């Protein structure tokens, strides 16, 4: 009878240790942590809208160009190779009253093309973009001749980070 | 339950719309507005003048002395003219001074010889959206009823409607 009680106690204690994970646990363990990096292509215009006001000239010469290179920047991040940034306008070249050019200045993370006159067809604006973070100033120049009169053009300018 | 779902959808839509209207970047493309605004420009200059559109001129028995020999202008407006006038009252002028816009580089027309008085008189008409220039020719003849004192003019040229 005494042996039976002792055995019963041992069984109960074993059950408690096992259920508490004390007996079977060792001093080390592991699990798998996976870092997955997917394609990232982000582009953003920092700053806001821009107005170029042409209202000066020298008598006998066409109106002075107006330049803005401080209002807006362009930032981008890509972890892919063979990328470029294109520019386009919502205004047909034939419909524009005046001349607008855009250029990437003070650039890092790519190579600026020559100043572009944005049209409804996307044109290369920055080339040589690959696995980088980059930035540039957006420099716009507005030009008008006396013969073109007065008025305004409102371009919605779109930049796109895309494959070469 | 359906009401709460509708409210939740509305909140999500408003947040999304707010982000879009505030120009937040959405992936690999972004846009902004670039506006060119060209305002009216009307400029005239007298080459050799002490001020932009004003010069001094003396008429005496030896002839006409002035440095103002050329006009230049820029305008993106239509229907303008260039006028000339003197600060010397017409009744005090001892010589009849005349001016002509010559060698006109413009789409406008010269009015030929124009007598200078203390009132504006047009020397070029129908100037529209152009850059232009011309030489200024002068001639003077003594008024028979006036003494031979020299006339000292401040000549004002104006590009106006």
Chain A nearest C-alpha distance from B77 (Å): 6
Interface confidence, given as ipTM, is 0.82
Question: What is the Cα–Cα distance from B108 to B126, expressed in whole angstroms?
Answer: 5
Query: Residue B87 has what pLDDT?
Result: 96
B148 touches chain A (CB under 8 A): no
B35–A154 CB contact, under 8 Å: yes
A154's CB contacts (< 8 A; 6+ apart) are A91, B33, B34, B35
Alpha-carbon distances of A25 from A3, A29, A33, B39, B52, rounded to whole Å: 30, 9, 22, 83, 97
Question: What is the Cα–Cα distance from B148 to A16, expressed in whole angstroms?
Answer: 136
B37–A51 CB contact, under 8 Å: yes
B34–A50 CB contact, under 8 Å: yes
Query: Residue B66 has what pLDDT?
Result: 85
Residue A16, judged by CB atoms within 10 A of its CB (0-12, 13-18, 19+), counts as: exposed
* First-last CA distance in chain A: 88
A34 or A26, greater pLDDT: A34
Alpha-carbon distances of A89 from A86, A94, A104, A116, rounded to whole Å: 11, 12, 16, 11
What is the Cβ-side half-sphere exposure of residue A129, based on CA atoms within 13 angstroms? 32
Domain B42-160 of CATH type 2.60.120 = yes
Tell me the two tokens of residue A30.
């592991």
Cβ-Cβ contacts under 8 Å, B23 against chain A: 45, 48
Q: What are the sequence ranges of the domains in chain B?
A: 42-160
B21 touches chain A (CB under 8 A): no
pLDDT digits (tens, 9 = 90+) for A40-96: 999 999 999 999 999 999 999 999 999 999 999 999 999 999 999 999 999 998 899
Cβ-Cβ contacts under 8 Å, B31 against chain A: 45, 156-159
Of A43, A49, A58, Cβ closest to residue B33: A49
Q: Average pLDDT, stretch A146-158? A: 97
Chain B residue with minimum CA distance to A84: B28
Q: Average pLDDT, stretch B17-31? A: 61
Q: Average pLDDT, stretch B73-81? A: 96
What domains does chain A contain, in order, with CATH numbers? 41-163 (2.60.40)
Chain A nearest C-alpha distance from B43 (Å): 5
B74 touches chain A (CB under 8 A): yes
């Amino acid at each position: 009878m005494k042996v039976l009680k002792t055995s019963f106690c041992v069984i109960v204690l074993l059950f408690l240790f096992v259920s508490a994970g004390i007996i079977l646990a060792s001093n080390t363990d592991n699990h798998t942590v996976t870092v997955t990096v997917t394609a990232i292509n982000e582009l953003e215009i920092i700053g806001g809208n821009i107005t170029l006001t042409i209202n000066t000239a020298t008598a006998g010469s066409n109106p002075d160009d107006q330049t803005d290179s401080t209002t807006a920047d362009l930032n981008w991040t890509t972890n892919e190779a063979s990328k470029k940034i294109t520019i386009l306008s919502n205004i047909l070249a034939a419909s524009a009253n005046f001349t607008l050019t855009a250029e990437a200045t003070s650039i890092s993370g790519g190579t600026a093309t020559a100043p572009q006159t944005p049209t409804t067809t996307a044109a290369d604006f920055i080339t040589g973009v690959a696995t980088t973070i980059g930035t540039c100033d957006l420099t716009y120049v507005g030009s008008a001749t006396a013969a073109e009169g007065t008025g305004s053009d409102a371009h919605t300018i779109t930049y796109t980070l895309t494959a070469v | 339950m359906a009401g709460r779902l509708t409210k939740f959808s509305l909140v999500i839509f408003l947040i999304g719309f707010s982000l879009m209207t505030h120009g937040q970047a959405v992936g690999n493309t972004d846009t902004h507005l670039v506006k060119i605004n060209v305002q009216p420009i009307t400029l005239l200059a007298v080459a050799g003048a002490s001020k932009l559109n004003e010069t001094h001129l003396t008429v005496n028995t030896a002839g006409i002395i002035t440095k103002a020999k050329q006009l230049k202008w820029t305008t993106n407006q239509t229907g303008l003219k260039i006028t000339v006038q003197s600060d010397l009252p017409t009744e005090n002028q001892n010589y009849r001074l005349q001016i002509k816009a010559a060698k006109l580089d413009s789409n406008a027309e010269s009015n030929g010889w124009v007598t200078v008085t203390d009132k504006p008189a047009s020397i070029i008409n129908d100037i529209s959206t152009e850059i232009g220039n011309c030489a200024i020719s002068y001639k003077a003849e003594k008024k028979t009823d006036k003494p031979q004192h020299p006339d000292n003019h401040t000549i004002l040229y104006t590009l106006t409607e």
